[in-house]
């Protein structure tokens, strides 16, 4: 079964996980976590009788490959969306200054063209109210509509009508772009939510199997270690190694200082002896 089908098969269960129960994979990369889950599934097969005797419901073990596949597919979808968001942000940062410049130009030219029409000026002033990117995007389409509906004053000042088409087109382009660029930062990514729910679903199984494995094999170091995260152990060991050199250097400095002091005392003692002998 493909990863995508595994996700579809699990989607109803995954989406049922309430928001306040969702876990986010912060301590370990998702790809590594999935691999560890698959390794754990293989490792525990030899211990089935002992684990079941200890109280483990084996159906959760049987369900682990499906949960791993669902998370793998969900992570793939999230990676695609995240890269899409990054590209959208780059494009947005490139385009939005041009949009503000166009809005400013249209407001200037339409205000002059409609300066003798209080009604049109009122509508223009209403468009000018508000602030922010979303407001600017809406302003562009509103200015285009207003201008196309009232062209006579514009023709008298030789206004470039293509600016109105450009304004509506830019609004159409920037709307979805802005939504995609800000979706994750505003916490609105449904794809990320599903990824986190799929991670939570797999984590439930992994934690349960590891807990029982460590409980049952508490006196068997070899089997016990198989129910721990290799990634976490390596990470902890690496952090310990980073601390050790600093301690060693400090100790070496202290030893060198004490040796130097001893050498000075010895030399001074020699000088005193020499002078006395003389």
Residue 188 is predicted with a pLDDT of 59
Q: Could you tell me the sign of the dihedral formed by the alpha carbons of 21, 26, 31, 36, in that order?
A: negative
Same domain, 20 and 79: yes
DSSP state of 249: H
State whether 235 and 124 are in the same domain.
no
In terms of domains, do 28 and 165 share one?
A: no
81 inside domain: yes
Q: 77: closest CA among 159, 197, 243?
A: 197
The answer on 110 and 59 residing in a single domain is no
Same domain? For 175 and 106 the reply is yes
16 and 75 belong to one structural domain: yes
How many domains does the chain fold into?
Answer: 3
Rounded Cα gap, residues 270 and 274, in angstroms: 6
- Report pLDDT digits (tens) over 142-170: 999 999 999 999 999 999 999 999 999 99
Q: What CA–CA distance (Å, rounded) separates 24 from 114?
A: 55
In degrees rounded to 5, what are phi and psi of residue 228? -120, 160
Same domain, 83 and 193: yes
For tokens 């999230």, name the residue: 78
195/218 same-domain check = yes
pLDDT of residue 238: 63
Structure tokens that stand for 146 in this block? 């207003």
Average pLDDT estimate for 221-246:
77
On whether residue 278 sits in a domain, the answer given is yes
Range(s) of the domain holding residue 206:
3-87+188-229
Of all residues in the chain, the percent with pLDDT exceeding 70 is 82
Is residue 149, in this structure, part of any structural domain at all? yes
The answer on pLDDT for 276 being more than 50 is no
Give the range among 25-34, 36-45, 101-110 with minimum mean pLDDT.
25-34
In this structure, the answer to whether residues 58 and 129 fall within a common structural domain is: no
pLDDT > 80? residue 2: no
Q: Write down the pLDDT at residue 241.
A: 60
Give me the pLDDT at residue 270, please. 41
Does residue 175 fall inside a structural domain?
A: yes
Same domain, 221 and 237: no
pTM: 0.62
Do 73 and 197 share a domain, yes or no? yes
Strands (E), 7-161: none
Structure tokens of 51?
């684990």
- Do 176 and 111 reside in the same domain of the chain? yes
| Among candidate residues 32, 55, 52, the one with its CA nearest the CA of residue 44 | 52
**Residue 92 resides in a domain:** no
Query: Does residue 42 register a pLDDT over 90?
Result: yes
Buried b (16+ CB within 10 A) or exposed e, 124-160: beebeeeeeeeebbebbbbbbebbeebeebbeeeebe
The confidence score (pLDDT) of residue 137 equals 95
Which of the listed ranges 39-48, 189-198, 236-245 does the model predict with the highest average pLDDT?
39-48
The confidence score (pLDDT) of residue 240 equals: 58
Q: What is the mean pLDDT of the segment spanning 134-139?
A: 94
Q: Is residue 112 very low, low, confident or very high in pLDDT (cuts 50, 70, 90)?
A: very high
What average pLDDT is seen over the chain?
86
- Among 40-54, 68-82, 120-134, 175-189, top mean pLDDT goes to 40-54
């Amino acid at each position: 079964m493909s990863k995508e089908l595994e996700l579809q098969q699990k989607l109803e269960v995954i989406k049922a996980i309430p928001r306040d129960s969702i876990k986010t994979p912060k301590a370990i990369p998702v790809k590594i976590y999935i691999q560890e889950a698959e390794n754990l599934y293989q490792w525990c097969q030899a211990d089935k009788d002992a684990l079941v005797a200890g109280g483990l419901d084996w159906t959760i073990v049987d369900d682990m490959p499906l949960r791993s596949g669902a998370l793998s597919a969900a992570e793939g979808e999230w990676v695609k969306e995240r890269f899409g968001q990054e590209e959208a942000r780059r494009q947005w940062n490139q385009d939005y200054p041009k949009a503000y410049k166009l809005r400013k130009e249209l407001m200037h030219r339409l205000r002059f063209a409609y300066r003798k029409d209080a009604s049109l000026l009122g509508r223009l002033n209403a468009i000018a109210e508000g602030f922010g990117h979303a407001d600017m995007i809406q302003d562009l389409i509103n200015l285009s509509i207003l201008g196309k509906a009232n062209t006579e004053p514009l023709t008298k000042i030789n206004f470039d009508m293509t600016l109105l088409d450009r304004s509506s087109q830019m609004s159409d382009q920037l709307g979805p772009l802005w939504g995609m660029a800000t979706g994750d930062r505003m916490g609105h990514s449904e794809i990320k939510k599903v990824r986190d729910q799929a991670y939570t679903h797999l984590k439930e199984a992994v934690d349960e199997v590891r807990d029982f494995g460590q409980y049952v094999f508490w006196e068997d170091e070899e089997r016990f270690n198989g129910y721990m995260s290799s990634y976490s152990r390596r990470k902890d060991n690496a952090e310990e190694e980073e601390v050790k050199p600093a301690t060693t250097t400090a100790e070496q400095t202290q030893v060198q200082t004490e040796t130097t002091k001893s050498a000075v005392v010895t030399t001074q003692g020699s000088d005193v002896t020499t002078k006395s002998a003389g």
